[in-house]
């Protein structure tokens, strides 16, 4: 057994080492013409005249795993299709943190679901706050590694690009973190916004570090947020361990069909065009906002959003709402007491944001 494989086995909850998970009817390798093994309705619903929805879906559709594997340049066995990347976070907590005993490491301000899943699971959250520097937010990966070792944390969550900070993290730095924690912890790199970044952790890092786990999603760049299709990319061993903890039928068939359509060549070309426009709009919107008196600071971003500190955050928020624009109010976090997160819209929508905030100068 390799060192990385033994790492996964060591970190796996002891009570799950002999646990095989639920074996659904669709897990059977049997074949036939008349399927009477899943207690499904024998007749179609009037809402589904074709009858395709009366059958339970494949828990891990081969076509979807193969399409995701091609997209991310990994083997299909290294892909676990999930209900968005949120499910991947939850599965990792279930598998590798014993309830009430485990610990994870995060670098706030960061995506809140890491802490939410941990706390629902009874795991301790060890925070190593990112630093607000002149160059933007910076996670201290060295301090995160030290904290993981000191707390015997099994999972270190790194959001790259950072949400809500927009922080850029170099793949080489992530590789160094994984190398340092080999045999001790899994490094989970959440790449929900990876398509918008200049560089992102990918298959080459997985090949070199079997304690590395990548989370990806079709919700952002691929414009399928409502379909809830994500992926965990990891070693075959880790994928297998997580699958034991997954619900019997996690993926709805219509969502799978939408994902497969989105992963066809023409759709991927359209995605690339949307991403290119978003990156251009990110630069344009950042420059325009930074020039406004109502804006104190616009942080560099590698995502499809901008984190903006405002001279009067409530007034800015109200002005945007009055213009019919809803943005994310970040002020509940003391580190972001004057900040709003603004997702990139169409050029016209971004123009409306600029106009609404520019009007604050005239109203002052």
- The ranges assigned to domains in the chain are 3-24+59-263, 25-57, 275-363
Confidence of residue 364 (pLDDT cuts 50, 70, 90): very low
Confidence of residue 8 (pLDDT cuts 50, 70, 90): confident
Q: Residue 179 burial (CB < 10 Å; 0-12/13-18/19+)? A: middle
Q: Please report how the helices 236-244 and 84-96 are oriented relative to each other, as an axis angle in degrees rounded to 10.
A: 90
Confidence of residue 5 (pLDDT cuts 50, 70, 90): very low
The architecture (CATH level 2) of 275-363 comes to Alpha-Beta Complex (3.90)
Per-residue pLDDT reduced to its tens digit, 329-345: 999 999 999 999 999 99
Mean pLDDT of the chain: 94
List, in sequence order, the alpha helices (H) in 122-264: 141-151, 171-180, 203-208, 236-244, 253-262
CA-to-CA separations, 305 to 141, 197, 321, in angstroms, rounded = 23, 12, 18
CA-to-CA separations, 27 to 39, 64, 187, 244, 339, in angstroms, rounded = 14, 16, 30, 12, 48
CATH 3.40.640.10 fits 3-24+59-263, yes or no: yes
Per-residue pLDDT reduced to its tens digit, 270-313: 999 999 999 999 999 999 999 999 999 999 999 999 999 999 99
In 218-358, at which residue ranges do the beta strands (DSSP E only) sit? 230-233, 295-298, 305-310, 328-329, 339-343
Contact 192, 210 (CB under 8 A): no
Mean of pLDDT values over 41-53: 91
Position with higher pLDDT, 231 vs 26: 231
Pairing of strands 124-127, 230-233: unpaired
Q: Is the pLDDT of residue 189 over 70?
A: yes
Contact 148, 177 (CB under 8 A): no
Paired tokens of 343: 């997702």
Model pLDDT, residue 6: 64
Residue with tokens 């520019």: 358
Q: Please report how the helices 265-290 and 253-262 are oriented relative to each other, as an axis angle in degrees rounded to 10.
A: 80
Helix (H) or strand (E) holding 156: strand 155-159
How much of the chain, in percent, has pLDDT values that exceed 70? 97
Model pLDDT, residue 362: 54
Give the pTM: 0.94
Lowest mean pLDDT among 199-203, 219-223, 253-257: 199-203
């Amino acid at each position: 057994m390799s060192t990385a494989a033994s790492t996964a086995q060591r970190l796996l909850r002891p009570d799950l080492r002999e646990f095989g998970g639920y074996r659904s009817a669709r897990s059977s390798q049997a074949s036939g013409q008349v399927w009477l093994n899943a207690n499904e309705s024998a007749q179609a619903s009037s809402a589904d005249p074709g009858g395709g929805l009366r059958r339970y879906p494949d828990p891990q559709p081969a076509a979807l795993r193969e399409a995701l594997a091609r997209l991310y340049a990994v083997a299909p066995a290294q892909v676990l299709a999930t209900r968005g990347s949120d499910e991947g976070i939850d599965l990792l907590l279930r598998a590798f943190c014993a309830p009430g005993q485990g610990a994870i490491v995060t670098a706030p301000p960061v995506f809140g679901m890491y802490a939410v899943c941990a706390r629902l699971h009874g795991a301790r959250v060890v925070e190593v706050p990112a630093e607000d520097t002149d160059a933007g937010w910076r996670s201290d990966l060295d301090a995160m590694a030290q904290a993981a070792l000191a707390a015997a944390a099994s999972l270190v969550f790194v959001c790259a690009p950072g949400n809500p900070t927009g922080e850029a993290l170099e793949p080489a730095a992530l590789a160094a973190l994984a190398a340092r924690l080999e045999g001790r912890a899994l490094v989970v790199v959440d790449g929900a916004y990876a398509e918008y970044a200049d560089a992102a952790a990918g298959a080459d890092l997985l090949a070199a570090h079997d304690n590395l786990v990548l989370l990806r999603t079709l919700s952002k760049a691929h414009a399928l947020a409502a379909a809830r299709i994500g992926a965990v990319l990891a070693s075959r061993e880790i994928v297998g361990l997580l699958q034991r903890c997954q619900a019997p039928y996690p993926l709805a068939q219509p969502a799978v069909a939408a994902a497969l359509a989105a992963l066809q060549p023409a759709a991927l070309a359209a995605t690339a065009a949307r991403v290119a426009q978003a990156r251009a709009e990110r630069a344009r919107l950042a420059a325009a906002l930074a020039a406004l008196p109502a804006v104190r600071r616009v942080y560099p971003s590698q995502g499809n959003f901008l984190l903006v500190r405002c001279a009067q955050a409530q007034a800015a928020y109200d002005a945007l709402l009055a213009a019919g624009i809803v943005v994310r109010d970040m002020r509940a976090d003391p580190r972001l007491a004057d900040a709003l997160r603004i997702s990139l819209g169409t050029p016209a929508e971004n123009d409306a944001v600029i106009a609404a905030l520019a009007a604050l100068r005239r109203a002052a």
